Amino acid sequence: MYTPTSVELSRLLERAEGVRFDADPVHANRVRLVWLLQQLGPRSFGLTFFVMGMLALVPGASTLVGVLLAWPAVQLMLGHGAAELPRLIGRRTVAVARLARVIGLLAPRLARLERLVRPRWPELFSTLRRTIGVAMLLLGLSMISPVPFSHIVPALVIMLLALAYLEEDGLVLLLALAGTTAALAITAATVWGTVETIDWIDPPAH
């Protein structure tokens, strides 16, 4: 039976509150990042992309997020069942109190979106799974563009794609893939226009 992501996050927090590692006081009330992704399973991709899309809207963060997006995007393209972190990063821990704050911000917003986004045409996800990975990779690379504000549209499309993936909504997925094409075209046109303008203002010497 399908469980909304907002509900799954609340359950994840309940499980995290009972986790202790090695009875080590240093790790009391903390959980490892790898444990979080394992608990999320296939949803780890969608949630990772959604959070990265939100972070990309923060001024100055889009270039770094665009580079980091390549890691889960390539994993999705290769057919991995869940997102995986490099071992060094995965062993890092996060305080349950901080996790509770993050989930407290995410869950209510996801719950509102879940009134509109719901499971539809789930068969599309098995067919287009690798296509979603390619789309995420290209959108991430497009955010590396040095043109001011050119990252906003790709970041919003990443969030829409991630939401479709989280809720298994095939209709929203098709809309998001169409938005991906439009976002990439806008980014390409913006970069091209910027280069042409610079050449017009300061033509290269011959």
Q: SS3 string of the chain?
A: CCCCHHHHHHHHHHHHCCCCCCCCHHHCCEEEHHHHHHHHCCHHHHHHHHHHHHHHCCCCCHHHHHHHCHHHHHHHHCCCCCCCCCHHHHCCEEEHHHHHHHHHHHHHHHHHHCCCCCCECCHHHHHHHHHHHHHHHHHHHHCCCCCCCCCHHHHHHHHHHHHHHHHCEHHHHHHHHHHHHHHHHHHHHHHHHHHHHHHHHCCCCC
Query: What pTM value is reported for the model?
Result: 0.78
**Which range among 42-51, 96-105, 140-149, 159-168 shows the weakest confidence by mean pLDDT?**
140-149
Residue 134 lies in a domain: yes
Are 180 and 132 in contact by the 8 Å Cβ rule? The answer is no
Q: Which of 29-33, 46-50, 85-89, 154-158 has the lowest mean pLDDT?
A: 85-89
pLDDT band at 195 (very low <50, low <70, confident <90, very high): low
| Res 24 pLDDT > 60 | no
The answer to the question of residue 15 being in a domain is: yes
Asked if residue 62 is part of any domain, the answer here is yes
Could you give the percent of the chain with pLDDT greater than 90?
1
Answer whether residue 47 is part of any domain: yes
Q: What is the pLDDT of residue 23?
A: 45
Q: Is residue 205 part of a domain?
A: no
Check whether 161 has a pLDDT greater than 60.
yes
- Give the percent of the chain with pLDDT over 70: 85
Residue 176 lies in a domain: yes
Q: What integer best gives the mean pLDDT of the chain?
A: 80
Report yes or no on 199 lying in a domain.
no
If pLDDT is split at 50, 70 and 90, which confidence band does 205 have? low
pLDDT band at 108 (very low <50, low <70, confident <90, very high): confident
Domain count, the chain: 1
In a domain, 198, yes or no: no
Q: Which domain holds residue 100?
A: 5-193
Lowest model confidence (mean pLDDT) among 6-10, 27-31, 185-189: 27-31
